[in-house]
Amino acid sequence: MKTLKSLLKLLFLAPVMLLLGVTPTYGTATFVGAQSGKTYSKDLYISDVAAALVTWDGGQGASATSPTDWIPPEPVVLTDLSIVTGPTVIFKLQLIRNSIPTGDILRLVPHLTTNSMRPPLRIGFGAMQRAQIGQLT
């Protein structure tokens, strides 16, 4: 059932993406455990569709059909967000904690993988708090 649902979602999104001229891309969100110091590197898929949620690696890499959230096992701090150059529709990302925007809106350009001087981030998420990222124009 899950495979069928994913396939239908992909079949619906593909023509819409071609029609709108969007350019999907990938990124990485790096979190550090506040207590353990463990690094959590999460692969992201950015569909380049305004008001859509970024999808997160569910175990086999991020794609259009991946989960739209990540739930950290411990309190974590988002320390870096790197995005591959490409989006043409969206220009900002909005961080969301437990379905509520955090107020942190990140412009894409400073966080591109080609920028060796990406600004350091220090944005916390509690244990078991659902982390999401919204796409904005």
pLDDT in tens, 3-27: 555 544 544 544 444 445 789 999 9
Over residues 103-123, the pLDDT tens digits come to 999 999 999 999 999 999 999
Strand 123-125 to 92-97 pairing: unpaired
Half-sphere exposure of 38 (CA within 13 A, CB side): 9
Q: Where are the domains of the chain?
A: 2-136
In tens, the pLDDT along 58-109 reads 888 999 999 999 999 999 999 999 999 878 999 999 999 999 999 999 999 9
Check residue 20 and give its pLDDT: 52
How far apart are alpha carbons 13 and 16 in whole angstroms?
5
pLDDT, tens only, 25-58 = 999 999 999 999 999 999 999 999 999 999 999 8
Cα 135 from Cα 5, distance rounded (Å)? 23
Query: For residue 39, which amino acid is it?
Result: T
